[in-house]
Every structure is written in structure tokens, then in C-alpha cells.
Amino acid sequence: MDESRFIDIEGVEMVFHTKKGVFHALREIDLKVAKGEFITLIGHSGCGKSTLLNLIAGLLQPSDGVLLCANREIAGPSPERSVVFQNHSLLPWLTCYENVYLGVERVFGKAESKAQLRERTMAALALVGLTHAETKRPHEISGGMKQRVGIARALAMEPKVLLMDEPFGALDALTRAHLQDELLKIVAATKSTVVMVTHDVDEAVLLSDRIVMMTNGPAATIGEIVNVQLDRPRDRVALAADAKYMEYRTAVLEFLYRKQAHPAKEAA
Ligand SMILES: Nc1ncnc2c1ncn2[C@@H]1O[C@H](COP(=O)(O)OP(=O)(O)OP(=O)(O)O)[C@@H](O)[C@H]1O
């Protein structure tokens, strides 16, 4: 298999049929994501970032074009492409442990013993530093912890691709920085392929191998792509004074606020 096109998106168009008529959301989307690559999607509000992520997740079907993952057409949702949403979407009546276990059981339940499933669940909770919270329910933990349970659940399914829709968008700046650092470590350890939607320019530069910048909608498409060639592991404090980091940051700001200025709704 050609690992440089692990996710292969070709000629994708997305048209929504609404009560008000036809809405052309995405046009001519071509993107190849390599195995182990970390991609962020950035662009102004409403440009179609979530739509593109949902197409890769298989939650939406394109109006035209094709999406492949590991050479197979993406025909629907699958645990091999697990999604972490902004609102953590945990089941409120289940404990943190049970929320993660549910995903583990779905993927490995037929093949493995209960002890093995338990081991996987505990390993995923440990990965996000939540072993101590296994018996707590979502209302008993902070927003950052809930988001970590969501990430643990997604990772525990050992997905080929981790899809994240503004996973840290609702968190305060310090918690957000902490979770970004954790995610970098986890991704380095698991060698996951990640596609993440973000509004945050610094988050995009810190995490990405490539930043995919989208033009404004309607009929949004990929405008430019920034190749972030910063060594890993990355240290946010050291990067703050790094000339290359500033260059990438400026390139994204330039795209968003000069080339794709959005007078009504300034994002990022
Ligand atoms: N199911 C749908 N039916 C009709 N229109 C839709 C549907 N889903 C999305 N859209 C429209 O497609 C466009 C892209 O929406 P999308 O949510 O993908 O944007 P986004 O870039 O993720 O926005 P935000 O940053 O605000 O979350 C928007 O104009 C939106 O109103």
C-alpha cells in the first residue's frame, strides 16, 4: 500500500439540499494524507471544515468524488476512523471506565476475553492520565477531563485514523495547552494518523505536519497548504521564540485575514 496516500480524497463535492434550495458547501477537494501524518483543517466559520471531517468519518457521503482510507472506499462510519467531538459526547449515566469500555467492547468484544477488554480500557485511561477517575461519572469531572475520556475512548479502539473536531475548543487556555502537549505525546507513541479541525492558529502550527487552509464558502475548497517543518518533540515555550514558528504562524494569519478576510464573522 502507498502510505503517502493513506487517506485519499479526490474530486470531492458536497451539496446540501435544504428547504431554501441547494447549497454547494465544498468543491474540488483533493487531499492526500500520509500514514502517521498530523493534519489540521483551518478556515473561517462555515467554510466546511466539519463537513470535510464528517466525510472522512463516513458520517456524510459526498455528492461527487471519492474518499479512500487504506485503499478502501469510505462507505460509512467505522471504528477504524474514530471521531472526537468538541462536546465530548460521553454517556452521562456511565462512568469514565464504562464510557471507554463501550468502545473497546464494540471493536474487540468478539475476539477477546473480558480481562483483555478491561486491560485495554485501563491502558487507554492511563494514557490520558485518568486512572484515578475510572469510577466517576461525567458530571463529576471537569471539561478537560471529559475531553480526555473522549480521547481515551477514541484511542482505545486503535483507530487507523483519529478525527478530531475542535476537541479543545471549549476549554480554557491552560487546560487546552496541557491537552495539546498530551496529545502530541500520545500521537508520537501511537503513531496515529490525525485530522483535526481547529480555529486556533497556534494550535495548528504546534501540532501539525501540514496545515490545510480552506477558502470561504459557499463552494469552499483548499486554498493553500503550509508544510510545518519543525522538529519533534515540540516544546511550546521554545517555539514561541523560534523564527520558523513565527513564519508559519504569519503565513496562516496572512491567509485567514488578508487573502480570505471574512468581514462578517472573523474566526481564529
Ligand atoms: N446538513 C446540512 N444541511 C445544510 N447545510 C449544511 C449542513 N451541514 C453544513 N451545512 C452548511 O455547510 C457549510 C459548512 O458547514 P460546516 O459546519 O462544515 O462549517 P465549519 O467550517 O465547520 O464551521 P464552524 O467553524 O463554524 O464549525 C455551512 O454554510 C453550513 O451551514
Chain segment 195-253, per-residue pLDDT in tens:
999 999 999 999 999 999 999 989 999 999 999 999 999 999 999 999 999 999 999 99
Host domain of residue 96: 83-158
Q: How far is the CA of 91 from the centre of ligand 1 (A)?
A: 25
For the residues 123-142, what does the mean pLDDT come to? 93
d(Cα 21, Cα 26) in Å, to the nearest integer? 16
**Residue 154: HSE in the Cβ half-sphere, 13 Å Cα cutoff:** 30
Sign of the torsion angle spanned by Cα atoms 105, 107, 109, 112:
negative
Q: What is the mean pLDDT of the chain?
A: 93
In a domain, 151, yes or no: yes
Pocket perturbation via mutation, ligand 1, pick of 15, 50, 86, 200 by most ligand atoms within 8 A of CB: 50
Q: Residue 216: CB within 6 Å of ligand 1?
A: no
Q: Residue 18: CB within 6 Å of ligand 1?
A: yes
Total tally of structural domains belonging to the chain: 1
| Cβ pair 4, 34 in contact under 8 A | yes
Instruction: Please tell me the pTM assigned to this model.
Output: 0.92
Give the ligand 1 atom nearest the CA of 51: 18
What's the confidence (pLDDT) of residue 78? Answer: 92
Pocket perturbation via mutation, ligand 1, pick of 49, 61, 165, 203 by most ligand atoms within 8 A of CB: 49
In a domain, 117, yes or no: yes
In a domain, 63, yes or no: no
For the residues 141-162, what does the mean pLDDT come to? 90
Q: Residue 48: CB within 6 Å of ligand 1?
A: yes
In a domain, 92, yes or no: yes
Q: Which of 237, 94, 89, 234 is nearest to 170 (CA)?
A: 89
Tell whether the model's pLDDT for residue 41 goes beyond 90: yes
Q: How far is the CA of 23 from the centre of ligand 1 (A)?
A: 10
For the record, the C-alpha cell of 12 comes out as 470531492
Q: Residue 16: CB within 6 Å of ligand 1?
A: yes
266 band by pLDDT with thresholds 50, 70 and 90: very low
Q: Residue 113: CB within 6 Å of ligand 1?
A: no
